Amino acid sequence: MKKKIVFLSFAFLNLLLIVSCSNNKTTETVSEKAGVVISKSIGIDEFEKLLSAEAVQLIDVRTPEEFEPAHIKNATNININDDGFETQVSSLNKNAPVLVYCLSGGRSAGAAQKLEEMGFTKIYNMEGGIMAWDAANKTLEKSGTETTTGMTKADLDKLVQSKAMVLVDYNAKWCVPCKKMAPMLDKFVDARKEKLTLLKIDADENKELLKEKGISGIPVLELYKNGKLVWAHNGSIEENELVKETGI
């Protein structure tokens, strides 16, 4: 009889431990779900759908000079490169969705990371930026002061046909990878100046050209030989890769 009582006691104790562990596991799971931070890059179509969400906060992190001519409707301009960026975004609701975009997606990705560090819980970065948005013929709110200056594709065709070999560099002043690549490209072309010409095209000053060519992100390099495109590369590239891929 005594042994039976001891057995029942241990059985009862085990049952209590199982229930206790089960309850603790449930609590931890709920806690983890409650603390989830959503921070991701999404395509323009998904981004557009989120714009209709309640209490959404749309932030254009470009410079005021970029924002003023054309931007997505209802966007607030808070320059990521401004010293007061954190101060300005601190007034936003950290628990409501924040949608960020820039020209091609690089600066807004940095802004999304910064917002996550500041405690925002629902952050969405638009992949490809306003270049991809415009290339897909999505609606933009324009001030009426935007000019159509800059070269056309016909202009570009004439330029690349004027030399035997032309390396075209699509860049922008704010583009960090573009800045890092610039000295390397200058050196690369200078070492081959008898046969190679470098043509630098500013994305901000030639928006129509980039749209016409379907370029939605920078940096982009193109190599033309006798007016024909023979090589292209999206994103950063090291000099040894450039030599290997172009063969020059």
Task: Please name the residues in contact with 161: beta carbons below 8 A apart, sequence gap of 6 or more.
Answer: 224, 226, 227
Sheet containing strand 165-171, strands side by side = 197-202, 165-171, 220-225, 228-234
> Are 17 and 23 contacting, i.e. CB atoms less than 8 angstroms apart?
no
> What burial letters (b/e) apply to 38-64, b meaning 16+ CB within 10 Å?
ebebeebeebbeeeeeeeebbbbbbbe
Of these residues, 61, 75, 178, 189, which one is catalytic? Answer: 178
Distances 103 to 36, 47, 66, 94, 171 between C-alpha atoms, Å: 29, 15, 8, 24, 12
Distances 181 to 133, 151, 174, 229 between C-alpha atoms, Å: 26, 23, 13, 21
Cα radius of gyration rounded to whole Å, the chain: 27
Distance CA 147, CA 130 (A): 17
178 part of the active site = yes
175 part of the active site = yes
DSSP 100: E
Of these residues, 126, 132, 175, 215, which one is catalytic? Answer: 175
Distance CA 28, CA 161 (A): 66
Containing 232, the helix (H) or strand (E) segment is strand 228-234
Residues known to be catalytic: 175, 178
